[in-house]
Amino acid sequence: MIYLPARQHGFSVYDDGDYISQNRMVQNGLTWAGFKWAFTTYWASNWHPLTWLSHMADCQWFGLDAGAHHLVNVLFHAGNAVLLFLLLCRLTGMTWAAAMVAALFAWHPLRVESVAWAAERKDVLSCFFELLSLSSYVRYAQKKPGRDFYLALVFFALALLAKPMPVTLPFLLLVLDWWPLQRLANVASLAGKWARLAGEKWPFFALAAVSCGVTFFAQRSAAVLSFEQYPLSLRLGNAVLAYAGYLLKILWPVDLAVIYPLPRRLSWPLVMAVGAGLTGVSWIVWRIRRGRPYWLAGWLWYLGTLVPVIGLVQVGKQAMADRYSYFPCIGIFLAAVLAGKELATRFRVKWQPLLAGAGLILAVNLWFTARQLNYWRDDVSLFSHAVAVTADNPGAQINLGLALEQEGQRDAALIHYREALRLAPDSVEAHNNLANILNDEGQTREALDHYQAALRLDQTVPLTHCNLGTLLVKLGRFDEAMQLYQAAQRLQPEDPHVHYLMGKAWLGKGRTSEAIGQFRQALRLDGNDFQSLTFLARILAADENPVNRDGNAAVELAERANTLTGGTQPFILDVLAMAYAESGRTNEAQRVELKAQELAEAGETPALAANIRRHLQLFQAGQSCHEVFTNQSGPAE
């Protein structure tokens, strides 16, 4: 299958961390705590509990095998193509036309983003249930069994629980009532019939209204741009261009990018020309609706199902996105294929050239899809391509910098972060990422300036408070740092990392009782937070105050941290050795410390290796580590 190379792809720096690779709640798998979290969290500025549960199930079965997560997306996409084929067969009775539409849907390169991006599980999952809802409704409309109506409602609810974009489905049902279901045929009162059909669907409209409210509440603080940030005139103009842009990419899918930057200015003559063109198309399909109803039905399918993401409520800083076309494009494919079938019938085209033409169209789509999928093989390729095919794209620059930073190319990453700031001086993320590298390289003054700039721009981002607080701890400005940590904790009370940072800060001040409280709070929020497990175990194993020491508890915590990290972290092994020594298991302490020493020396961390050698000498002498409880390099933050 064309998408199988995605099995070899890893997680992306773009959103995959929030959804999977850095989300401890998701990584814990299917748990009762995770179930409650999925239905109550607005993490990543969204409310889509079914999507969270889907990711949790993947982690339960596959762990962090990124290829397996991608493969599940591929399977859902394949299932969606089959469901679409069956739905169109039932709607139109045209098997070959239905097959062509389903094949275009499955193999068009605009689908790559939804399928090859692990974080976009919500696209394929919501479409899966949306198609099931449509299929159930069509059975109800054709045969009138009440069970199918309620099944359609249940599947619609599940689609909304995966992603709120299907809120327009009740309107699409009305379109299908007109054609091809023809539930308005031969009626005396057209207005009355429309009113009855709309009233029939009141449960669907009610669910859609609830979903809209919850989604706006989830996105209002972090993701939705205000009219001061992006005026209504720009939104309307960009919506017009986006409608045309999706059509162009359906017809000629070149220069596809994972991020299309939101324009700060528009060419209004172009907007007016494009708007006139779209209006003209709408007028034409309206005029020919009686003889060729599929054009109006497909056009309304396309226009209507794009409304939630066309930018009237601007969520994020993208002008458009390939993933948004996942379901709406079906309307265009349906109209185009049925128009082709009508033309072939009129001009009596034989099946051989017709089959050859269809095969050529699909082959071209497959070639473009394979090429686009190849860009998703790694983040450097993905965002380098986005930078190359779009202009003035700060989002792509930032993510390319992150990708290069992960590969150890810090100088190259700095170039892209600085370019992102040139393009978008108000980018909090660019300031933060640039400051992180500068701080690591010892350029404290410049790092402090960028952290403070990020905080001035937006005081609602917990990460900014945490990063600036950690730098202030390093500079000895403890009270200011704690105020920032507390602000981050108020902004994101369910994040264990804030408590971990506060615990480390208290530990640096020698206030171990306060540090213990913070590490325990972090573990109450996430029992698998290996950093808090490690530092709490370290205190319980080696604190100077005997009241705080508990060797057996330290062993339990350190062993869990060591298991979570695969036994490859020398600092954690060092703490585990301390715990064994404190609990009287001297031989195990020496064995583990020897392994820690080997890893530290191989990893070229001389300071940590020196501490480990000192601890090993103590263990070989039958002693513990109370007197050498000093600040050491901890796990990566």
pLDDT tens, 347-366? Answer: 888 888 889 999 999 999 99
The C-alpha R_g of the chain, in whole angstroms, comes to 29
What would the pLDDT profile of 551-569 be if each residue is shown by its tens digit? 899 999 999 999 988 888 9
Cβ neighbours of residue 10 under 8 Å, at least 6 residues apart?
A: 66, 67, 378
C-alpha 375/C-alpha 387 separation (Å) is: 12
Structure tokens that stand for 416 in this block: 């892209």
Write b or e for each residue in 586-620: b if 16 or more Cβ atoms lie within 10 A of its Cβ, otherwise e: bebbbebbbbbbebbeeeebeebbebbeebbebbe
What pLDDT is stored for residue 102 in this prediction?
98
- 3-state DSSP assignment of residue 368: helix
Asked if 401 and 436 touch (Cβ cutoff 8 Å), the reply is no
Asked if 394 and 319 touch (Cβ cutoff 8 Å), the reply is no
Q: Residue 429 pLDDT more than 60?
A: yes
- 3-state DSSP assignment of residue 151: helix
Q: Which amino acid is at 475?
A: L
Mean pLDDT of 329-338: 98
Q: Residue 631 pLDDT more than 70?
A: no
What pLDDT is stored for residue 637 in this prediction?
43
Structure tokens that stand for 400 in this block: 């390319």
Cβ neighbours of residue 95 under 8 Å, at least 6 residues apart?
A: 89
Total Cβ atoms within 10 A of residue 340: 17
What pLDDT is stored for residue 623 in this prediction?
73
Mean pLDDT of 272-298: 97
Q: Residue 630 pLDDT more than 80?
A: no
Instruction: Name the percent of the chain lying above pLDDT 90.
Output: 76
CA distances from 386 to 189, 291, 319, 382, 444 (A): 53, 43, 14, 6, 32
Total Cβ atoms within 10 A of residue 286: 12
pTM, to two decimals: 0.89
Q: Residue 633 pLDDT more than 50?
A: no
What DSSP state is assigned to residue 100? Answer: H
pLDDT band at 221 (very low <50, low <70, confident <90, very high): low
What pLDDT is stored for residue 33 in this prediction?
87
- 3-state DSSP assignment of residue 355: helix
Mean pLDDT of 309-322: 90
What would the pLDDT profile of 492-506 be if each residue is shown by its tens digit? 888 899 999 999 999
For the chain, how long is the longest CA-to-CA vector? 100
C-alpha 112/C-alpha 114 separation (Å) is: 6
Q: Residue 45 pLDDT more than 90?
A: no
**Who has greater pLDDT, 388 or 185?**
388
What value does the mean pLDDT of the chain take?
92
What pLDDT is stored for residue 422 in this prediction?
96
* Domain 530-637 class in CATH: mainly alpha
Instruction: Name the percent of the chain lying above pLDDT 70.
Output: 97
What pLDDT is stored for residue 363 in this prediction?
96
Asked if 541 and 575 touch (Cβ cutoff 8 Å), the reply is yes
Q: Residue 470 pLDDT more than 60?
A: yes
Give residue limits of the domains in the chain. Answer: 12-375, 530-637
What pLDDT is stored for residue 626 in this prediction?
64
Q: Residue 636 pLDDT more than 60?
A: no
Asked if 10 and 406 touch (Cβ cutoff 8 Å), the reply is no
**Who has greater pLDDT, 28 or 300?**
300
Strand 318-320 vs strand 260-261: parallel, antiparallel, or unpaired? antiparallel
Q: Which amino acid is at 477?
A: R
- CA angle, 397 as apex, 5 and 460 as ends, to 5°? 110
What would the pLDDT profile of 473-482 be if each residue is shown by its tens digit? 999 999 999 9
What pLDDT is stored for residue 614 in this prediction?
86
Q: Residue 245 pLDDT more than 80?
A: yes
CA distances from 586 to 54, 537, 576 (A): 45, 17, 12
Question: What own/partner pairs with CB < 8 Å and gap ≥ 24 does 229-236 have?
Answer: 229/314, 230/262, 230/314, 234/263, 234/264, 234/265, 234/266, 235/311, 235/312, 235/314, 236/312
Helices and strands (H and E) in the chain: how many:
31, 2
Q: Nearest CA to 218 among 465, 40, 34? A: 40
Q: Find the range with the poorest average confidence among 45-49, 366-370, 382-386.
A: 45-49
What pLDDT is stored for residue 517 in this prediction?
95
What DSSP state is assigned to residue 319? Answer: E
| Tokens 């169209």 belong to residue | 361
What would the pLDDT profile of 163-219 be if each residue is shown by its tens digit? 999 999 999 999 999 999 999 876 667 787 899 999 999 999 999 999 999 988 887
What pLDDT is stored for residue 190 in this prediction?
74
Structure tokens that stand for 431 in this block: 């300031």
Q: Find the range with the poorest average confidence among 239-243, 526-530, 601-605.
A: 601-605
